[in-house]
Structure 1
Amino acid sequence: MDKQQQKLTKENLKFRLTDKKSYNKKIILGSIVASLVAATPFLFYLYEYVPDVARWDTIFGTYESIEYGSANVAFWVLAMKFIPLFLSLIWFFTCRHWWYHALLVPIVMFSFQLISALNFDARYTDEFDIIWLLPIMAIIFPSIYLIRARMFNKINDHDKTMEELEEEFMIKPKTFWGKVKQYF
């Protein structure tokens, strides 16, 4: 009996250690993601450190603004396209809801806008983005509807009404801080 107890104790210890390691990894990854989200205003305003000149010499090379006329304006446009794309990607990869595939539409839109903004010779940016998004939306919208229909079919197979299901899933906090924590 002692050997079996020791074996169980060792297995429990291994489980606890691996569980603690994965928990620590999640905490570190979550902290990095939270820091990046909190840093987005600073990332956005990096364009203010770019000089307001048509030709900008950097240690990475020389940038010459053709259409924008200023390196500052060009990097402001890039920041306006990159930051929403960055936040949408974080939201997509951290979302736990069933509808997270719908986030692909704004991700593709922001990606297309960023690519067109990188083409500094382009005169008309953000003009015909919807035409490029139509095929993607034609795939994503029906997929989301099918997922939703399957969920409701499973829900409707049971003898519960929607009100009973909502009450079952509803978390009713009792304290003020519990109500605040419900939203975070």
Structure 2
Amino acid sequence: MLLKDVVEEIAEKSPNFLSPASIVRKITQVRDRLIRLYGSGQQQAETVCTGIDIIAGQDQYTLPCPPSNVVDVVIMKNGEWRRLTLRQFNQASIKPYYYFQAGTLGLVPTPDANITMGLKIFHIPVLPELTLNDMNSPTGFDPDYDMVLVYGVLREIVSGYEEMYQVLLHEYQTTTNGYEKYIVNERW
């Protein structure tokens, strides 16, 4: 389905009048949540790397994605790449580590030298937000399960669609759970 088809399905089933822009915004939110929570192992394995310059004395760096999309963080230390662990509390005895705070990634200890592209953040790519200009484009979600988007939006704006959403979500999860399915047809 194209984005315009998903918007039309939602508009047909919804007694509320929502502008197309509002529906598109809700589709983006539902799509991103579904991919983050239930996306296939393949989607989550396709990581990208964002390199960031380390600045001496600066311990906070802007994240290129939501914290939940971060897969791994490495830092250049003494000419070698060193993997950092995630800690969310001040643990002075365990160094180095990284933490999240208000949309930033913090480093402990604070870097003491400038290093060009000395911080690498490996993360699941962030799909661009859908807009009205994308009406003739795909949604960015699994094209076989675009109805999960339709009912995902409907359940947020209208009551009575939760059961159908759960059925479609279960089907989506079953086929994208990462486990391969084999069927053995024996002929004797």
Q: Which TM-score applies when normalising by structure 1?
A: 0.22
TM-score normalized by the length of structure 2: 0.22
